[in-house]
Structure 1
């Protein structure tokens, strides 16, 4: 048992450190990239709450189930149907690593934005709503992180597989809409997430280190006849 414990410690110690972020607050500051979120008691804030109440009234059980599944999925597998048979990230290690980089960059940037804007979640503004979950940080509504992820990955994947770009971007929009169906974001949060995710993708494409990963993933997808 002692030998196993020592071996486990050695493995943890040998684990490589996470790569440094390409997009940092110094070169990608959300305060300079996004407008302020609407205040809860403003006309825009009240209109957004009314929109969420309308969704609460008309959403179907099937839409809620789809939105809950989207909520639980935070990787590029959300685009499997758009990409078609063969898009299995476990069989595409280079592409999987690329999208892990996108995820790490997007999450760090979105977390900075959420911490800066500190907008209340819809259920904090109105406890009569029925969100899919209340597990998220109450003051982390703006921008939508799921939406930012969907668009950051979608824009990159659309460049990797341009013939499938319309289906990819339609799925990104559908993934974003799930956040409204789940009543965990306001419309402005989703709009900001779309803009923010797109900016993340475009800024990453300007980074030489990321382009090396991108070109390798493009070759892998080409060999798999996926782009």
Structure 2
């Protein structure tokens, strides 16, 4: 399904991704809702992912999600019900921030912990990798989503979730989590680019996945599946010559970068 993209706000979004735009300002901004709506491109782009469709068989790799009446399925549901009590807590509010991967959300957290702003001006090669990998998440993750078509935990349930309820949630499958897959892929790549900050990078990726459970839009097993598929995808990316070349550029630019990101938590 294609729909018009509402305007995005935030200096980080405008600066970090403006150079990736492929259409003029007057062109309609169209997005693909095949994965989680917040995962769509922040703005139209001419970039493509590194991987071709079918390079990784995510559905076979993951296997089916747990049956609702299995022990894991029951634990998934119990975790969903338990985390509804976090509504309006600081962790709930952090989950709301983590929902926005690009515009001041996850990307800013990686930058703050890295000590270097990931943006088009200072680290364009690094930003380009993250953008292309997010596109690969859709290429690799969508077939598994479509194949298993697991309903999200809040469907048919009116308990609070940390994001607005939208119609796409009724038809967009829950397993694997695209946010978790993106966050973990980014963490693995940034940990490789900046080994001294590996713990910090992985912590952000873990938090992004956990936030999807707290938000109430994914089961815990969706998050685990997203991380598993992310690990397989990043491993496969290392066999791609263009990815290898981009990683060399990103490693060099991060070594040169000096300016710390602004507005980071003390």
Q: TM-score, normalised by structure 1?
A: 0.84
Change (3 A) 1:61 1:109: same
What corresponds to 2:112 in structure 1? Answer: 81
- RMSD between superposed Cα atoms in Å: 2.5
The separation in 2 between residues aligned to 1:66 and 1:203, in whole angstroms, is: 32
In structure 1, runs of 5+ residues without a counterpart are: 1-7
Give the count of matched residue pairs: 213
Q: Give the CA deviation at 1:194.
A: 1.1
What corresponds to 1:152 in structure 2? Answer: 185
Q: Which of the numbers 78, 103, 110 marks the counterpart of 2:134?
A: 103
The separation in 2 between residues aligned to 1:156 and 1:41, in whole angstroms, is: 37
The separation in 2 between residues aligned to 1:195 and 1:16, in whole angstroms, is: 27
Q: Give the CA deviation at 1:144.
A: 0.7
CA contact (8 A) 1:153 1:201 kept: no
Residue range with higher mean Cα deviation, 202-211 or 55-64: 55-64
SS of match in other structure, 1:47 = helix
Q: Which of the numbers 169, 186, 191 marks the counterpart of 1:137?
A: 169
In structure 2, runs of 5+ residues without a counterpart are: 1-23, 29-43, 260-266
**Structure whose alpha-carbon radius of gyration is higher:** 1
CA contact (8 A) 1:76 1:99 kept: no
Residue-by-residue CA offset, 1:67-103 (whole Å, 9 max, x unaligned): 011102246433122201x323132112111111111
1:162-177 correspondence to structure 2 within 5 Å: 162-177=195-210
Q: TM-score, normalised by structure 2?
A: 0.72
After superposing on structure 2, the runs of 4+ consecutive aligned residues of structure 1 that deviate more than 6 Å are: none
Residue-by-residue CA offset, 1:130-153 (whole Å, 9 max, x unaligned): 112333433411011100000111
CA contact (8 A) 1:107 1:149 kept: no
Q: Which of the numbers 144, 164, 171 marks the counterpart of 1:113?
A: 144
Q: Give the CA deviation at 1:38.
A: 1.4
Mapped pair 1:221 → 2:251 = no
